[in-house]
Amino acid sequence: MKILMVSPMDVVELLSELVRFDTTNDPAKGVKPSKECPGFIVDTLSSWGIEAELVEKDGYYAVYGEIGKGKPKLLFMAHFDVVPVNREEWETEPFELTIKGSRAYGRGSADDKGNVASVMLALKELSKMELEGKILFAFTGDEEIGGKMAMHIAEKLKGENNLPEYMINADGIGMKPIIRRRKGFGVTIAVPSERIKLRGVLKERKFKVSTPILETRHAAYFLPGVDTHPMIALSHFLRNSNALAVSLEGKFLKGNVVPSEVTLRYLEPGEGEEVEADMCLTKLLKAIVPLVRAPIKPEKYSDYGVSITPNIYSFKDGKHVLRLDIRAMSHSHKDIESTIKEVVAFNVPEAEVIVSSNEKAGYLFTHPEEKIVKTTLKVLEELGEKVEPVEGPGASDSRFFTPYGVKAIDFGPKGGNIHGPNEYVEIDSLRKMPVIYAEVARRLVRE
């Protein structure tokens, strides 16, 4: 079957324009994307004759539109918001696309503005065709902090009886169709400070992240036994010494981003000066090891099992607060809550535990024999890419549509350093993306 030809010549240029918009989402600092980037998307689509609307909800923006007529067959979705950057770790300017050899570096190049650019160009070609059904599209600005815009769009389409049969969530990596993704849960553990004065030697030790195989800071990609998490290493240190925690500082960015470095100030009891140690902070940090090994039982199989990572620590209003990121093939947080509370009760009985999740979100679990999967694999094979469907480590906005019966995959170009410094997309892979998206869409809508 002949592949629909889409000129990829503008995809890198378009990505460059998108990367220039600082669309960082960092609620802890009150930072959110402005309407400049989604406005640019609307204006660009409009210049190609594609109508789209700017949607605002709670100060966050999305772009939504439809092409074609008749029954809604397919939804394209991607996101333009990005995670914060630690500029000290970057070798290039994060918000300028920098070409080095076969790679294009910049925040959002792989997650997820490369996909935004590719879907936009695919829509440009598809809009010129007589489609046998509608193609819906949405670009959201809050995926990195929970995806309420995607949830709002899913609910709206459900209410209007306008849900599509299929969904390509352009928020993947590796140029392989992702058919399974776990659901994310957040856990907050808070304990009041309990300071006591003891004699000893005040010391300091730094713990750094290590990802020797796959360079990423995304918590869902963290692999125990291969990677080193600084907070887990710190906990292991305290559990195997008589040290007492005094204070903790670190390069904490976001709930699902592994901190690059943490610094523990601690007291080694014995002869020396009088130092104020914090007993509850010590217990909280020592509890990290059993917490990340908590026996949470999922509902369905996952290649990655259950992931638990401690990525945020803060001290506020006299309380030490630890936040865990949990990924599991589970819908409800009740079993997770009871398991975590049991671990906490044994280790830090003074602590309060809050488990949060979006009950309207599910997980991605699409059968490999579904038409959307087989069609994507066929198009990839015709383009010389022989791949198999895989599971993705992190969650995505497809989880808001799968509970309604939408058959979905996540997909994206080859790249690396997701959520980390020096994020990049492979240019040859990126140039194929508009072609792949347009051709898969054409076949699904036609059939």
pLDDT tens-digit series, residues 371-409? 999 999 999 999 999 999 999 988 899 999 999 999 999
Q: Three-state SS for 411?
A: coil
Confidence band, pLDDT 50/70/90 cuts, at residue 128: very high
What is the Cα–Cα distance from 344 to 353, expressed in whole angstroms? 8
Backbone angles phi, psi at 357, to 5 degrees: -160, 165
pLDDT tens-digit series, residues 259-312? 999 999 999 999 999 999 999 999 999 999 999 999 999 999 999 999 999 999
What is the Cα–Cα distance from 254 to 268, expressed in whole angstroms? 31
Give the pairing of strands 72-79 and 134-140: parallel
Q: pTM for this structure?
A: 0.88
Q: Which of 136-140, 260-264, 354-358 has the lowest mean pLDDT?
A: 354-358
Where are the alpha helices (H) located in 105-203, listed in sequence order? Answer: 113-126, 148-159
Which tokens sit at 432? 């194929």
Mean pLDDT of the chain: 95
What is the Cα–Cα distance from 374 to 168, expressed in whole angstroms? 13
